[in-house]
Amino acid sequence: MTGKRVFLASCVAVCLLISSACRMHTTASEGSVERSTEPLTEQAEAGQETQSAEEKRISDVTLYIGTGDTFIEYPAAYHGSEDPTDIPAKAVLKAMASLTDWNLDVSTPIELDENGIRVTFSSESSLFSGPPLEQKEEFFVYDAYQLDQMILDSVKKTLQCWAREMGHTDSDTIDVWFYGPDGGDLVLENIGITISSQNPYGEFPVS
């Protein structure tokens, strides 16, 4: 009889120990899940907020590179205004310069009114210095004539389309005037060509 009581007591003790261990394991596991999921949720929400803010600061602008009536479109991202219809013209030329490695600096702000767009190039512009020493293969030109034609045709086409996309005009054929650093004719001495400041730019002259 005494042996049976000892055996039963031992069984009860073992069961109590097992039950206690199971409760401790469950509590520890539940606590671990709560600590690991909470910061992940906060990080995900923070990431979504950051991404949303970035999307608001990025707008797309289309650049047109080519000559005559033949152009290739290049989408470019503009980081700035949250309003996609408020991309400044200077930022468009900056994006084109970054894409092509051309210097497209202007000496005065680009003007836009009901009569058209006016661009006054700086004396540092590639129009006066010629092709870069190291050209990107996609925009390679053989001489200053090809470069100047591509710059003026590309700037004209891009700004015309920009003005329409920004809602400044309902036409993509708005007139564009080009000026030299002094505000007068655009004189390209290196190729013997002058772009008149009295008329909107049409086609690049034949040398």
Tell me if 63 sits within 8 A of 158, measured CB to CB. Answer: yes
Percent of the chain whose predicted confidence (pLDDT) is above 90: 57
Q: Over the stretch 44-60, which tens digit does the pLDDT of each residue have?
A: 344 444 444 444 445 68
Q: Is pLDDT at 171 greater than 60 in this prediction?
A: yes
CA angle 142, 193, 109 (to 5 degrees): 95
Higher-confidence residue of 195 and 50: namely 195
The runs of H, that is alpha helices, within the chain are: 2-57, 89-100, 126-129, 144-165
Q: What residue has token string 């000496």?
A: 107
Cα separation, 185 vs 200, in Å, equals 11
Report d(CA 135, CA 101) in Å as an integer. Answer: 7
Has residue 20 got a pLDDT over 80? no
133 band by pLDDT with thresholds 50, 70 and 90: confident
Angle at which helices 144-165 and 89-100 pack, to 10 degrees? 140
Residue 50, burial from CB neighbour count under 10 angstroms (0-12, 13-18, 19+): exposed
Q: What are phi and psi of 52, to 5 degrees?
A: -65, -40
Q: Is the pTM of this model over 0.85?
A: no
CA distance readout (Å), 20 to 27, 115, 171: 11, 87, 80
pLDDT of residue 81: 61
Where along the chain do its domains lie?
Answer: 59-195
pLDDT of res. 11: 43
